[in-house]
Structure 1
């Protein structure tokens, strides 16, 4: 069993896709978890959906730990049990809790715990009072650490030194300024059904986190949407999803992390559009959700900042 962890936007799904494209054992089981009630990451994985378990409604290491254990146990009892299991945890999960499932099972053997790290945010994440404990726990759980987006502007030696201080036993690999793997070009897995035009929230905030999910069936102005997301960058840690943009024919994959925003074409089977936002619980986050909802009504941008 391989556990793939890392904070929000660190590149876990990109890395998992790189593993799949590089060749994983036949009859492997892929488990995708997302912090939120729409599993965007599952739609980004290039793998057969009958071989996937999609877990939503929060963090599998705390709210869904029992469910994960039950589903894995059932899979291992099949006549043709999976030869390998790959679990991509949510961005706020503790990978050690997931790895413990293999340590207490006689059917599973832990291969490794891989932690993806955004090199451009090491110092910020380490010092952040909300993020810091979760981020450090992810680093300390790893047997292998992959560092993305680390450039000369970030003082690489100091950043890598901080990671070694937190986990001297893990191997640490600097992937440079790019991602740990090639970007996903196609989105082939259907996400759970969401009724268009309705706003959804997860059942509760966890440890100060908040997620909100929004169905966005109509085309939006990409610049306006980008202004909203960056305008709330103080509370918005991650946004991802699919939207139709004015002036663009194909559905777009939107990615927002560390105030970095990108759009790229994302063909899919059903064309549904939805956006998931994850951030710091509080009035500012609720204002963000209300502002995004107002896109449907064509309201002004006056309340963004």
Structure 2
């Protein structure tokens, strides 16, 4: 055998040894992650919430004892009459990313629908922390809120549409749009070209969204003589439900349009987006509070 072939064989042998070593190491991490997620699921199914919460990512309570105690109390209240159980299906994937081992498990929950649990270890896979269960309708952006450095490759298992949705960022110029409201009126980029646009992503199933409607109606009334177009994209409802059931009880002065939530990168409701006359996003306000309504009002005034 000539030297070049001998050298090539040695290189291949070294690569194989390295691959086996990495595979062996990852086998250890897989075993540890699987054992610990099983323990977490066991505590949940037994409604031992104080033990269950110990396995959760600190992002849920910020390493704050009071916040952790409040979380335990909340879960105890939610689950006191709950007989549903998690069932571990399989470890979908494990990788090392950003100097942390990360994992994704498939579980089933309630009506046997597919759900997921994400895991992270920052000490070489010896100890793991996990997310709460996430159903198969979750957007990957929601996971990144709790695990900002979670490997993007996991999105192919959880959310194949990640990165393809309509997204809003402060400073961006919005894409052209064409809506039809629940009364059949067209609302488009052309018809609103001289307007400030205020979007309110909401749902009839969202208690904070419903609570803020009277205050939003006051804003519509305040700016009725200005070039401000208030549009309320509604998620997961129907025109019939809105017209016959919801609006007679909760009059809403925004121009209501129906959208498919999966087409938008909106992860919390309500979400308010203020767009100036140049069609530039100038503010994004998530959630309801008196302070947020004031922020919304100030953003509209600033855009005029």
**TM-score band, normalised by the shorter chain?**
under 0.3
Tell me the TM-score normalised to structure 2 length: 0.25
- The structure with higher relative contact order (CA 8 Å, sep 6+) is 1
| Greater C-alpha radius of gyration | 2
The TM-score with structure 1 as length reference comes to 0.25
